[in-house]
A = this chain, B = another copy of it.
């Protein structure tokens, strides 16, 4: 999981207000700050702290202050057909480009049934699920994917050529919670290896390779090496397809040409490409009929026979949905070192970080 276990609890709304002010102070418009903040706080609420303010805010702010990412958005639709659009984001904040592209996909899918849009010259867009989920209130199935800095070698190789290249799918339900699948195409995230290294805990077999491409369970060796794709050569193929769609088809960086897009790159624009799709359910079936069928199928899965010792069978997105309810009620945990960073950032910008 991508969540943090401990920390000081803060109400989501207090973190939201402070984050918006911080972003506006470094030059982000009111609307863009609200959007970017919402995507980050939603990640925290869902327990995906790796994509929340916890890990992202200081990095984003630093990249904006150094001009590596433009504070001001400047989006231009460079190609457009009835069901497609390519948006040149001109180094705007990734979330601004993503919201616009997914918004266009939804509007187009209302008319034509399905749409597929893309951004180029963009930046890190945060949690993939946030964009796919935009489709849900419109009775649509949402999809989003992005490439990322190379951390995985092709099968048989030992040069990192592919990122964790995540994708997300959101499928509306009726009374059940919607299906929200959001996964990196590596067996585990790099952060998981870092955690094991800190604890000197061996990795499980199949998680990583050393720098020569040999499987390893030593976390320190793995950190200098390569992550393993899901399903071996199958995951390698999925990553390649994601990279070719997000990187090549959009005219963005790909493969080894993809520079870092977070703390690993404080100098050069990243030129990320991402893709978005929306399928209007009513092009295939009446929405109430579909969501009722989804509910039925979800219940069948959740109530199917459990393996001994397993308390509950989850469907994709369910853990995050329950985490969201819990964190809305009890607050978002911010680890103490991150609180210190936030206090320091608040002092520097004269926007004091709130008390818990």
Whether A237 is near chain B, meaning CB under 8 Å from some CB there, is yes
Q: Are B249 and A153 in contact (CB under 8 A)?
A: no
Give the shortest distance, in Å, between A342 (CB) and chain B (any CB).
32
A86 to B158, CA, bound (A): 44
A181 to B169, CA, bound (A): 20
In the complex with contacts A159-B304, A290-B249, A114-B116 CB distance below 8 A = yes
Smallest CB gap from A251: residue in B: B285
| Count of this chain's copies in the oligomeric assembly | 2
Give the shortest distance, in Å, between A86 (CB) and chain B (any CB).
5
A214 to B306, CA, bound (A): 11
Smallest CB gap from A229: residue in B: B231
Q: Are B300 and A255 in contact (CB under 8 A)?
A: yes
A164 to B51, CA, bound (A): 31
In the complex with contacts A181-B238, A284-B118, A305-B159, A244-B83 CB distance below 8 A = no
Q: Are A157 and B313 in contact (CB under 8 A)?
A: yes
Give the shortest distance, in Å, between A274 (CB) and chain B (any CB).
13
Contact with B along A138-176 (1 / 0, CB 8 A): 000100000000000111111101000000010100000
Give the shortest distance, in Å, between A227 (CB) and chain B (any CB).
12
Within 8 A of B (CB), among A48-103: 79, 81-84, 86
Within 8 A of B (CB), among A264-290: 277, 279-281, 283-285, 290
In the complex with contacts A181-B240, A297-B244, A312-B156, A112-B171 CB distance below 8 A = no
Q: Are B181 and A237 in contact (CB under 8 A)?
A: yes
**Contact of A112 (CB < 8 Å), options: B82, B236, B283, B307:** B82
Give the shortest distance, in Å, between A171 (CB) and chain B (any CB).
5
A114 to B143, CA, bound (A): 14
Contact with B along A319-341 (1 / 0, CB 8 A): 00000000000000000000000
Q: Are B306 and A237 in contact (CB under 8 A)?
A: no
Residues in B with CB closer than 8 Å to A306 are 156-158, 213
Contact with B along A167-205 (1 / 0, CB 8 A): 001010000000101010101000000000000000001
Q: How large is the interface on A (under 10, 10 to 19, 20 to 34, 35 or more residues)?
A: 35 or more
Whether A2 is near chain B, meaning CB under 8 Å from some CB there, is no
**Contact of A157 (CB < 8 Å), options: B112, B255, B307:** B307
At the interface, is chain A mostly helix, strand, loop or mixed? mixed
Give the shortest distance, in Å, between A192 (CB) and chain B (any CB).
13
Q: Are A84 and B283 in contact (CB under 8 A)?
A: yes
Give the shortest distance, in Å, between A76 (CB) and chain B (any CB).
14
A245 to B140, CA, bound (A): 12
Give the shortest distance, in Å, between A89 (CB) and chain B (any CB).
14
Give the shortest distance, in Å, between A137 (CB) and chain B (any CB).
18
**Contact of A307 (CB < 8 Å), options: B212, B281, B294:** B212
Q: Are B316 and A240 in contact (CB under 8 A)?
A: yes
**Contact of A301 (CB < 8 Å), options: B154, B235, B301, B305:** B154
Which 3 residue pairs spanning A and B have beta carbons closest together?
Answer: A230-B231, A84-B113, A213-B307
User: Can you list 28 pairs linking A and B with CB atoms under 8 Å apart?
Assistant: A82-B82, A84-B279, A86-B284, A153-B304, A154-B304, A154-B313, A156-B310, A157-B301, A157-B304, A157-B305, A157-B310, A158-B305, A158-B307, A159-B304, A159-B305, A161-B300, A171-B244, A171-B245, A183-B231, A183-B238, A205-B205, A206-B206, A212-B307, A213-B307, A213-B310, A214-B307, A251-B284, A255-B297
